[in-house]
Structure 1
Amino acid sequence: MRYAPLKERAPGRSLPTNLIRNQLLPHVAERRPGTQILDIRRAPAPYRSSWWLENLSLALDDGTVYHLVLKDLATTVPGSRTDQVKPRAVMNPDREPWVYQTLLEPSLDGSPPFWGTGFETDGGESCMFLERVEGVPLSEIGDFDAWLAAAEWLGEFHARFQGRPSPGGPLLHHDQSLHEWWFQRAVSYRGTEAFLGLESVHRRALQEALRTEPTVLHGEFFPSNILVEDQGGRYRIRPVDWEMASFGPPSWDLAALTSGEWSLRDRTQMILAYGRAAETAGSPIPPLDGLQRNVTACRMLLAIQWLGWGPSWVPPSPHRYDWLEDARSCAEEL
């Protein structure tokens, strides 16, 4: 794919339907040889993202209907300011399609089936097609069992890749240089006074996090990026939005899931659910106090990353939280 600068979609602008049809023809031919596309119905996707999303309903001449999501990998939603605050050093439009093609298995992990990528006409920016899956964001679910199910899913997913070399590709790698860069970026935006006493603790948090055996990470395992399908009392977890997929400490994803104003009891319950699932799947898990400390270290690193996104950026509502106070709170625990 061509690596183009991010841009904000102009109001009222959308990809021509004929262009979408042409991009989808080879994917339809692969799945339903000999069929033709009769109709494409389009609607804005109901869930918020920094990237432009559309729901597509594809009607074929044999009566088959496919429900897809089009995700524009180079164009952001008006007002999101993603093009201004997402550092190009960590953004790569090749990453998410690569993860779907290379690492994810819908039958195992509930991920949306990947159809393929396409290109826009005005400069060659890329877009991606996925099958639409059932579910609502975890952030909208009050049943704590759904949160425990997400923690269990995460433990099983991490266990599949732990103990193996990095898959490579365009994955981010959580190493010392990346997190030192995030800290300096946050300081440059917020001022040195805001981080008094935190730099040395940040170094300790980084050492603690990097002691663990790395694995493939979602990268932004926040509740708003986790779709949950209620299957009659059993929750199926379907993470989406893999733009920040990476290789690093497992507790990074667990820190994202348990971020926010949780009680110690509830956070501990999610950590325990994660540990049991990972251990059952064959992954070595430290004792609870060690795992909690590692999650706290990653929560601090995560808070610093949020503070480093941009000088005046306000996170979307699911992530609107006092991240500086969270960093200080984690520092006290460490």
Structure 2
Amino acid sequence: MTSSGRETTLALVRESLEQGLSAQRGRAVALRELNPAHNDYGSSFAVARLRAVLDDGEPLAVVLKDLNPLHQSVEARSVRRTGLGRSRRELWMYREVLDSEGLATPRLYGHRWEPKRGLLWLLIEDVGPERLSRVGEFDLWLAAARWSARLHLALKDLAGGEAALMRHDIAESRQHAAQITARLAEVSVEQRAVIRRALELHDEFVDTLDEQPWGVIHGEYTAKNIVVRRGSPDRQIAVLDWETVAHGPLYRDLADISAGDWTRERRVAMWRAYHDQYCRDSGRALAWDRFFREVSEVALVRAVAWLAWWSRENGRHIVRWVDELRRLTTQFFAPAK
């Protein structure tokens, strides 16, 4: 981008921030300073970190998320459509749904929605760079599991509205299994055995997903989408990337956050943290045995779904999710002796 182009962009960002902050605070707000920090890809979309100073001297750390699907990362463009559905969904969540105080999600400072000019910006609080995926403190993973229970209760009465929430149904799960079955010849004999066992289990209980609790879920509640807030005991984590919000099996988010190279004990500890938080906040008792079985099943269905995204060029992805299927079948679906 040329120097004049950067200046024009910063002027538009300044205008969007001043308009958004003025509307939120009920008074005219002007920016004394606005400076770029650095750019990167926070998820699928490009993000820019900005540092602002308001007219009263208040510092403001801002993230500009570019929601233009044509500006997604190369990897994201290869697997996702370039329509505006995901972008509209995320903007709607920040503007109409998310409670930054109650859920500690990033605050919305402003936005710009001009599709004809390709300007689709979300301006939110910069909650920091430390992703949970790079943190080994297990207490924070437990906090993330508990947070997902709070989210599900907070969104239990949410209607789709203009955002047209996606729906993750049985047909989608069956499609993932079919995609994998068609490509079994591309993996090793050892991997094939693991996948076939997982697909057998998948077929046994995929039709029961509709009998599980359903609700509004984040959709990709992975550690890469969670930022750790240091020094904030009551706001330990902040969850990002709301373009994937959807209707689906409620425990899908829990399956996502507890996926990985965990022992059975630690994975179950995360499930227990969710269970206890949900029961405490809802005032309802969830039978542990049934909950445990349903989460186990969703976890396997979810791992099959992630594996379905494989490509021949991404061997690490295949290894990762075949290993996850191996762990799940061994830890939770081993034949009784």
- State yes or no: 1:274 paired with 2:267: no
Matches within 5 A, 1:19-98: 19-31=12-24, 33-44=27-38, 48-73=42-67, 74-76=69-71, 78=73, 80-87=74-81, 92-98=86-92
Contact 1:135–1:229 (CA<8 Å) still a contact in 2?
no
1:119-138 correspondence runs (5 A): 119=113, 123-134=117-128, 136-138=130-132
- Stretches of structure 2 lacking an aligned partner (at least 5 in a row): none
Q: Structure 1 residues 18, 191: CA separation in 2 closer, same or farther (over 3 Å shift)?
A: farther
For 1:298 and 1:211, the matched residues in 2 are separated by 12
**Equivalent-residue separation in structure 2 for 1:283 and 1:248 (angstroms):** 22
Match of 1:180 among 156, 174, 179: 174
Distance 2:48 2:64 in 1: 5
Give the drift of 1:58. 2.2
TM-score (norm 2): 0.81
Alignment of 1:184-263 (within 5 A): 184-187=178-181, 194=192, 196=196, 198-231=198-231, 236-263=236-263
Q: Greater Rg, structure 1 or structure 2? A: 2
CA distance in 1, matches of 2:111, 2:232: 34
Quickly say closer, same or farther: Cα 1:19–1:306, change in 2 above 3 A. same
Work out which structure has the larger RCO, using CA pairs closer than 8 Å and 6 or more positions apart in sequence: 1
1:208–1:297 CA contact under 8 A, matched in 2:
no
Structure 1 residue 301 and structure 2 residue 294: aligned?
Answer: no
Query: Which of the residues 6, 9, 12 maps onto 1:16?
Result: 9
Are 1:326 and 2:319 an aligned pair? no
CA-CA distance at 1:20 after TM superposition: 2.0
Q: 1:126 to 1:148 in 2, by over 3 A?
A: same
Between Structure 1 and Structure 2, which shows a larger proportion of helix residues?
2
Taking a change above 3 Å as real, the CA distance of residues 273 and 104 of structure 1, as seen in their structure-2 partners, is same
Residues of 2 paired with 1:23 and 1:229: CA distance? 26
The answer (yes or no) to whether the contact 1:137–1:226 under 8 Å persists in 2 is: yes
Aligned amino acid, residue 303 of structure 1: A
Of all paired residues, the percent bearing the same amino acid is: 25
In 2, distance between residues paired with 1:158 and 1:226?
A: 16
Shift of 1:123: 4.2
Residues 322 and 70 of structure 1, relative CA distance in 2, 3 Å threshold: same
> Which secondary structure does the structure 1 equivalent of 2:277 belong to?
helix
Cα distance, 1:161 vs structure 2 = 3.5
Verify the 8 A CA contact 2:52 2:61 in the aligned structure 1.
yes
Q: Structure 1 CA distance, aligned partners of 2:153 and 2:28?
A: 41
Q: CA 1:24 to 1:244, structure 2 compared with 1: closer, same or farther past 3 Å?
A: same
How far 1:219 sits from its partner (Å)?
Answer: 1.0
Query: What's the CA shift for 1:111?
Result: 0.5
Contact in 2 for aligned 1:171/1:245 (Cα 8 Å):
yes
SS at match of 1:322: helix
Residue 141 of structure 2 is matched in structure 1 by 147
**TM-score normalised by length of structure 1:** 0.81
Per the TM alignment, residue 112 of structure 1 is displaced from its structure 2 partner at its CA by: 0.7
Deviation string 1:196-247 (CA, Å, 9 cap, x unpaired) is: 4554532334234332221221111111211222336666221111121112
Q: Can you give the 5+ residue segments of structure 1 that lack an aligned partner in the other structure?
A: 1-8
Secondary structure in structure 2 of the residue aligned to 1:238: strand
